[in-house]
Amino acid sequence: MHHGHLIPAVDAALQLAAHGALASVVVTPTYAARLRPAVESSGLPVRLVELPLDLAGTDDVDRIPLDQEAAYLLATSRLRGPLERHLRVHAPPVTCVVSDICHPWTTGLASSLGVPRLSFLGMSAYCLLCLQTEHHAAAMHNAYAAADPYWHLMPEEPVEVKLPTAPPGFMRLPASEKLAYEKLAYAVERACVDVDGVLLNTFLELEPGTVVDSGEVRSVNVWAVGPVSLFHQHEHQHVAALAARGNAPAVDADECLQWLDGKEPSSVLYVSFGSSVLHGRPEQVMETGLGLEASGHPFIWVVSPENAGQDQDEEVRGFLEDLEGRLSGRGLLIKGWAPQQLILSHASVGGIMTHCGWNSMMEAVAVGLPVVTWPHMAHQFLNEMLSVQSMGTGVSVGVEWLKEEDGEVAVVEREAVEKAVRSIMGGGDEAVERRTRAAALATKAREAVREGGSAFINLRRLVRRYQ
């Protein structure tokens, strides 16, 4: 899986182990090497099960081109046979299979083993409810071709959620190999129905009515166990564990902390878009950089070298070098993997700019940071509206989509980036209120994972149910 899915899943495994489970995490050798430091430093009974899967010359999905990603994920079903053989001959016997949404083949695996299957979903409870109910799902799918926005109402607390034109569903991205995406989307949706329970990286106090409703719609257990990233904050508050979470960082952790130590509290904006290709297009990279520069605020910007071939693009490379030179001391560019949790936990960080993946949003909630929202996929627009309108902690950068099915996202210009950064990081009344609301949510999140909290209780009940 992409790190945006894999890291929270491993965090959840560590949390389950902390509550008495014997957890095994199934990964390819490349990912096992990346995860081993964090898993071993935990001291918990979590095993890494390595299964080779060499497709297209790699076992790393982050190296697969976007137009081949769906075919790659479909091909991971080849793991079923080797995994089933491994689980049958190694003790202790399996009592439950927990799988990511991108691996629908685990439905057959769990059935063959005669054990329940839970799905760990990197989405909000509200997003799950949209998928589960006919009305909400139809609205999401129809939003793709709609001339006008669709509106949704959250249960109990009505919140208008406006969906601009965006790809339907979760896996149906415009791409050259649409058949693979269609097949994967169908398999994922079937697997979401045929499930014994759902683990969500959210907590009851954040989405009270929605967590309950999403379980009642299809009579499945919904376990809100987040924010899973808080495991590291409360169980292992040392630099090595946070820095090793997911991959070897492209920047020395100590140097990064020293840079942050020299900044005023809550003054730094953290900018990261994960593996989003859209944010890595050369024209968007330059507009983003110029907007950050014009904002006047210190920032850490994670620029993925794989996005849009930046490592081969002379214009982008030259632009980034010039930007670093002009903003020496105010802007820190990280070209590659960043120790995100370590950075977000630092007192100098006062906000985050993100593509609105739910797991990234929950990391911001966990540490009490307001968010500049910059979605690029359908469900991310829902997350943006939850942050901006429901939680009241977000500011939209203002993404607009073309209405054509194969249309590309319009470039967000530097003025919009500057405005959003100034809004989230400024000192006006609205900015102060957003920070106050973000801090209050972080307090509730910490209470949820502590002994007696809602996530703590859910984890304890989950382990006892499936032991």
Q: Give 218-241 pLDDT, tens digit per residue.
A: 778 899 999 999 987 654 445 555
pLDDT, tens digit (0-9, with 9 covering 90-100), for 176-204: 556 776 777 777 777 777 789 999 999 99
Helix count (H) and strand count (E) of the chain?
20, 14
pLDDT, tens digit (0-9, with 9 covering 90-100), for 247-260: 555 578 888 999 99
With contact defined as beta carbons under 8 Å apart, do 420 and 402 qualify?
no
Q: Please, what is the average pLDDT of the chain?
A: 82
Q: Report the percentage of the chain scoring pLDDT > 90.
A: 48
- Would the pLDDT of 308 be above 50? no
* The two structure tokens encoding residue 153: 């109402």
With contact defined as beta carbons under 8 Å apart, do 137 and 150 qualify?
no
DSSP state of 368: T
Assigned fold of 247-445: Rossmann fold (3.40.50)
Residue whose entry in the numeric block shows the structure tokens 């149910």: 465
The predicted structure's pLDDT at residue 389: 87
Please tell me whether residue 373 adopts helix, strand or coil conformation.
strand
Beta strands in 108-188 (DSSP E): 117-121, 150-153, 160-163
Residue whose entry in the numeric block shows the structure tokens 């839970």: 118
The predicted structure's pLDDT at residue 250: 59
- Would the pLDDT of 68 be above 90? no
* The two structure tokens encoding residue 422: 């100034």
pLDDT, tens digit (0-9, with 9 covering 90-100), for 255-303: 899 999 999 999 999 999 876 656 678 898 999 999 999 999 999 999 8
With contact defined as beta carbons under 8 Å apart, do 246 and 38 qualify?
yes
Residue 271 bridge partners (DSSP): 301, 353
Contacts of 219 (CB under 8 A, 6+ apart): none
- Would the pLDDT of 155 be above 50? no
Reply yes or no on domain 3-229+447-466 having CATH 1.10.340.30: no
Number of Cβ atoms within 10 Å of the Cβ of 20: 12
pLDDT, tens digit (0-9, with 9 covering 90-100), for 361-384: 999 999 999 999 998 776 788 889
The predicted structure's pLDDT at residue 337: 78
Question: From CA 203, how far away is CA 444, in angstroms rounded?
Answer: 9
What residue ranges of the chain are covered by domains with CATH 3.40.50.2000?
A: 3-229+447-466, 247-445
- Would the pLDDT of 460 be above 50? yes
The predicted structure's pLDDT at residue 40: 87
Contacts of 156 (CB under 8 A, 6+ apart): 208, 209, 210
The most confident of the ranges 42-56, 59-73, 232-246, 282-296 is 282-296
Distance separating the N- and C-terminal Cα atoms of the chain:
26
